[in-house]
Amino acid sequence: MTLLHYESIPINESCEPLVDLGEYDFVLEPVYFKQGLSDDQKMYLRKSVADKLLKIQEKLGGYKFKIWDGWRSRKVQNSIYEKYWNDLKEKHPDWNDEKLRNEVGIFVTDAKNPNKIPPHATGSTVDLTLVDENGNELDMGTVFDHFGPEAASYYFEENNVSEQVKKNRKILRDAMTSENFSIDKDEWWHFDFDNQKWAKELGKCEASFGEVYPS
């Protein structure tokens, strides 16, 4: 993940509930359900996070959010972790467990560590993109869950590649940071709000959202 040791940030839990994103005017594509890694096609976020997204969307001038993932159980998190581990192990049979653990950990949190709350388990982390009025995704340079260097939020700026992709990613980043979301330097689609990862990124003393479960 982008930040190390964010689990040291204290949590003053708000007890804010999760809400079903099906009740909001977003485009939903439950990717992990489609991949067979989750048995629930419903998608959830903390209420204030979903409300913030709706507020942003209303100012986007015709664009809408397509949301791939929000709240994620540890079980689903672990399924994603194991899938990426096995994919890398097959691709790099010479890598030992330590190398695999380090490489997988860049993009996916190990859900088996009880002392570390995966950001998605807080219901205040969201994976999303923008679609136009016809429902077409804006060109962001990579597909969702492209676990490679091109997925880095500023990769196209730093490598001076594709003005259109740079413009589209900036639209998304600016929209999200306007409501105080933090970005993820490794994943252009990943944004956090008021969890430990967000607090570490923005230099906050505590977070309001810890691990949560649907009621």
pLDDT in tens, 39-74: 999 999 999 999 999 999 999 989 999 999 999 999
* Inside any domain, residue 11: yes
* Inside any domain, residue 158: no
Cα gap 207→192, rounded to integer Å? 11
Predicted local distance difference test score (pLDDT) of residue 2: 41
Cα gap 94→163, rounded to integer Å? 38
- The CATH number given to whatever domain includes residue 10 is 3.30.1380.10
* Inside any domain, residue 139: no
Predicted local distance difference test score (pLDDT) of residue 179: 98
Q: What would you measure as the largest C-alpha separation in the chain, in angstroms?
A: 50
* Inside any domain, residue 161: no
Give the end-to-end CA distance of the chain in Å, rounded to a whole number. Answer: 28
Predicted local distance difference test score (pLDDT) of residue 87: 87
Query: Residue 55 has which token pair?
Result: 């507020």
SS3 state of residue 139: coil
Give residue 194's region: left, alpha or beta (phi > 0; psi -120 to 50). Answer: left
DSSP letters for 112-131 = T-TTS--GGGGT-EEEEEEE
pLDDT in tens, 3-46: 347 899 999 999 999 999 999 999 999 999 999 999 999 999 99
Cα gap 96→89, rounded to integer Å? 9
Q: Which structural domain range is residue 100 located in?
A: 6-134+190-202
Predicted local distance difference test score (pLDDT) of residue 195: 98
* Inside any domain, residue 165: no
Predicted local distance difference test score (pLDDT) of residue 109: 81
- In this predicted structure, the answer to whether residue 1 has a pLDDT above a threshold of 80 is no
pLDDT in tens, 140-190: 999 999 988 999 999 999 998 899 999 999 999 999 999 999 999 999 999
**Whole-prediction pTM:** 0.91
Cβ neighbours for 186, distance < 8 A, ≥ 6 positions apart = 1, 2, 106, 107, 151, 152, 153
Number of domains in the chain: 1
* Inside any domain, residue 78: yes
* Inside any domain, residue 93: yes
* Inside any domain, residue 167: no
